[in-house]
Copies of this chain bind each other. A is one copy, B any other.
Amino acid sequence: MPIDQVETPALVIDLDAFEQNLQRMAEAVRASGVRLRPHAKTHKCPAIARRQVALGAVGVCCQKVSEAEAMVEGGIRDVLVSNEIVGPRKIARLAALAQEAKVSVCVDDAANVRELSAAAAARGVELGVLVEIDVGASRCGVAPGAPALDLARAVIEAPALEFAGLQAYQGRAQHIRAYEDRRQAIARAVEATAATVALLREHGIACETVAGAGTGTYAIEAASGVYNELQAGSYIFMDADYARNLKQDGGLNDEFQHSLFIYATVMSRPVAERAVLDAGLKAMSTDSGFPLVADFADALVARASDEHAVVETGPGAANLGIGTKLRLIPGHCDPTVNMYEWYIGVRRGVVEALWPISARGVGY
């Protein structure tokens, strides 16, 4: 089936670009001597996770129990929930999942450590545990240094938990535009993480895993000598926001190609300066700005409502008539993916694969 037979709105993967992104990251990580545990919150799709593992990834990251369940169900044998899991039912499900696969989780609270330990013991399983430290993201995590040491001791003392190391993700650095600012933000994260690793070592505690990094900074963490497991996710798809990052030489960050597109149809063309698409706020996340129009020059998404994107058009988009189908580059890939049930994999204009986004939705 040719792509222009696909009903819209739809989520389309350019398989050539996608596979090249997978290969490039696998090679970069192999060359740097660290591990890759890509984040499955980006794709929520076991078919993609299995391809990442086949290319050398040690497993995947997830952000919640329902994602981890979907990945284990889809054949992934090693899952890190790179997040805190709170509440008795969620914790019980996490422990149950550890009967089927290697499961690890992050902590930033001593009471949570005791609850995880009790649930794992009740199931007769062992959970791997990373202590999360706040290295500049100002989200979850204890402070680097002594608080991390205290929590690591609590994990080590808890039955049924295995202390696995540190989670040190600097999420806010990922979208800093200028390379030098990004590098400095990660340099500060590396310094805080290295000091914490050293403090733990002084107290006889080894960090098997020091984890973090995203698509915007992974090469910096990879070269740090401190991080040994990278958690980038968006590199497989890219998006308009990541593409705005600058490289060391000031050029646009084009190491990875856009491989993910919202496929949409022009459903109204009321005046020469405006085309209206059938993909709106319920088919695209706008938290990082509107999507870009991939296939037409002189066309800019200016507004969106529930089921419409309003595109301002210039002379270069004169042939954008009613019924024309076109591709948009999402502003932010992860929450856009979460809206869809399926990926439609396309190679050179022909549909080749349908992959269910089985971990999509407001799971918990």
Q: Which of A96-104, A223-231, A333-341, A345-353 contacts B (4 or more CB under 8 A)?
A: A333-341
Beta-carbon contact of A8 and B322 below 8 Å = no
Interface residues on A, range: 35 or more
Known contacts A281-B334, A341-B361, A140 near B63 by CB under 8 Å = no
Closest B residue to A332 by CB, please name it: B281
Bound CA span A276–B266, Å? 40
- Tell me the residues in window 281-333 of chain A with beta carbons closer than 8 Å to chain B beta carbons: 281-283, 285-287, 303-308, 310, 322-323, 332
Q: Oligomeric state, in number of copies?
A: 2
Bound CA span A334–B41, Å? 24
Chain A: residues with CB nearer than 8 A to chain B? 7-11, 41, 63-64, 83-87, 89-90, 108-109, 111-112, 134, 138-143, 171, 265-270, 274, 276, 278, 281-283, 285-287, 303-308, 310, 322-323, 332, 334-335, 338-341, 361-362, 364
A176 to chain B, nearest CB (A): 15
The 8 residue pairs across chains A and B that have the minimum distance between CB atoms: A140-B268, A281-B335, A86-B267, A63-B307, A282-B338, A286-B287, A283-B362, A306-B334
Q: List 5 A-B contacts (CB under 8 A).
A: A7-B89, A10-B362, A41-B306, A306-B334, A339-B362
A286 to chain B, nearest CB (A): 5
Closest B residue to A308 by CB, please name it: B139
Beta-carbon contact of A270 and B141 below 8 Å = yes
Beta-carbon contact of B310 and A278 below 8 Å = no
Beta-carbon contact of B335 and A306 below 8 Å = yes
- Given A109-B268, A339-B339: 11 more A-B contacts, CB < 8 Å: A63-B306, A64-B278, A86-B322, A139-B310, A140-B267, A140-B270, A287-B304, A306-B334, A339-B361, A340-B361, A340-B362
A114 to chain B, nearest CB (A): 12
Bound CA span A86–B109, Å? 54
Closest B residue to A11 by CB, please name it: B362
Closest B residue to A281 by CB, please name it: B335
A249 to chain B, nearest CB (A): 29
Closest B residue to A337 by CB, please name it: B282
Closest B residue to A338 by CB, please name it: B282
Closest B residue to A137 by CB, please name it: B305
Bound CA span A61–B265, Å? 21
Bound CA span A8–B83, Å? 15
Known contacts A138-B274, A281-B287, A310-B139, A84 near B268 by CB under 8 Å = yes
A146 to chain B, nearest CB (A): 14
Bound CA span A142–B87, Å? 54
Closest B residue to A171 by CB, please name it: B305
Known contacts A267-B140, A341-B361, A322 near B109 by CB under 8 Å = yes
Known contacts A108-B268, A322-B112, A362-B283, A278 near B86 by CB under 8 Å = yes
Contacts of A85 in B (CB 8 A): 267
A347 to chain B, nearest CB (A): 22
Beta-carbon contact of A139 and B323 below 8 Å = no
Beta-carbon contact of B362 and A341 below 8 Å = yes
Beta-carbon contact of A86 and B323 below 8 Å = yes
Beta-carbon contact of B140 and A335 below 8 Å = no
Bound CA span A264–B239, Å? 28
Bound CA span A303–B172, Å? 11
Contacts of A307 in B (CB 8 A): 41, 63-64, 83
Closest B residue to A334 by CB, please name it: B306
Contacts of A274 in B (CB 8 A): 138
